[in-house]
Homo-oligomer: A and B are copies of this chain.
Amino acid sequence: MISFENDYNHGAHEKILQRLIETNGHAYSGYGDDEICESAKKKIRRECGCPEAEIFFCVGGTATNQLVIDTVLKDYQGVIAAATGHISTHEAGAIEYSGHKVIELPGADGKLSAIDLEKYMADFYDDGNHEHMVYPGMVYVTYPTEYGTLYTKKELEDIAGICHKYDMTLYLDGARLGYGLMSPEADMTLEDIARITDVFYIGGNKTGALFGEAIVFKAGAPDHYVHLLKKHGALLAKGWTAGLQFDVLFEDGLYYDISRHADIMADCLKTLLKRKGYQLYLENPTNQVFVVLENRQIKELQKQVKISFWEKYDETHTVMRFVTSWATRQEELDMLESLL
């Protein structure tokens, strides 16, 4: 059985496990107040070019989104996202559970457009009844998007411009940030991301960590953030175990290297699929590959390959997702090829 099910199906990069072993005999203070977290934060600040950034480590993506959105928004505000955004569809209503509306705009291939956003905002303030509507206080984007696509620097700057015009926070969900930054089509660095957005997170779960996401508040976090983490059930007792992973990932460019590997593997996968005559559902330059498959063939394939449902295509076909990751090996691609 081989697996292209997702990019969180393997444990951790071996260097992370090794570091866990090395540090296992030491005692650290709890809740992220330790020297390892400090070291990781220092590296991330340098990488982002933000010496003033406040950084927090959280276990998973939904908890991170719920926390950041709820703690940054004011009571009268909601968050704008693409209708296909992770918070719009696949987080079980976690944002609404925290009391805030997700204002869904159409989007294309997972991306919000600055034009749609500008129109929405202009209409909002033109609307004579807007005091009875949810005030947009934040724009949520994913990089790469749920469809593996990427904003260009220009596109993201345009969105940021509208955010600033209307006094909204720009928040970037970087669950797969590495796979985006390392794509040959990417025209942004981590420093660009940090410069253009107000707050974002660097995903670890999908990029070599056992768990963990690093939230970066460029210009400082809301007050008492450790308390707020606790209140949301998101404060890690053994905080250093999360910090340690980012400390390793941002040493000698490991985060970038393993991300690049996944993108290369995905590229090989796309080539392979096309060569075999398969139809890609859409083109994208990162590590998720969406393929239109016959339902009958899916059943057959799934006996030997783990892939995941994306969406219904028509009565006899389904869009299935193949994902590569930092852990994908060439042999797995070879084996897949032999099965197709």
Q: Which residues of A contact B (CB under 8 A)?
A: 1-3, 5-6, 8-12, 14, 17, 20-21, 23-30, 59-64, 66-67, 70-71, 74-76, 78, 89-94, 96-97, 99-102, 104, 123, 126-129, 131-135, 205-206, 210-211, 222-224, 226-228, 230-238, 241, 306, 308-309, 311-312, 327
Contacts and interface: CB of A to CB of B under 8 A. Distances in A.
Contacts of A127: 309, 311-312
Contacts of A129: 90, 308-309
Given A6-B30, A93-B101, 18 more contacts: A3-B27, A11-B241, A12-B24, A14-B24, A17-B24, A59-B59, A60-B236, A76-B92, A76-B93, A78-B93, A78-B96, A92-B134, A93-B99, A94-B233, A126-B312, A127-B309, A210-B210, A210-B241
Q: Is the interface of A mostly helix, strand, loop or mixed?
A: loop
A25 B327 CA distance: 8
B102 A101 contact: yes
Contacts of A311: 127
A129 to B, nearest CB: 6
B90 A132 contact: yes
B227 A131 contact: yes
How many copies of this chain are found per oligomer? 4
B93 A233 contact: no
A219 B2 CA distance: 36
Interface centre among A28, A74, A104, by most B CB within 10 Å? Answer: A28
Given A5-B27, A210-B20, A133 B92 contact: yes
Contacts of A60: 233, 235-237
Given A8-B30, A11-B20, A131-B226, A241 B96 contact: no
Contacts of A131: 92, 224, 226-227, 230
A132 B27 contact: no
A312 B126 CA distance: 8
A223 B167 CA distance: 14
Contacts of A62: 230, 233, 235
A277 B293 CA distance: 57
A222 B75 CA distance: 10
B17 A29 contact: no
A147 to B, nearest CB: 14
10 shortest A-B CB distances, which residue pairs? A128-B309, A63-B233, A3-B27, A92-B230, A11-B24, A92-B231, A9-B27, A93-B134, A96-B101, A8-B237
Nearest to A206: B237
Given A78-B93, A96-B101, A61 B237 contact: yes
A327 to B, nearest CB: 8
A135 B29 contact: no
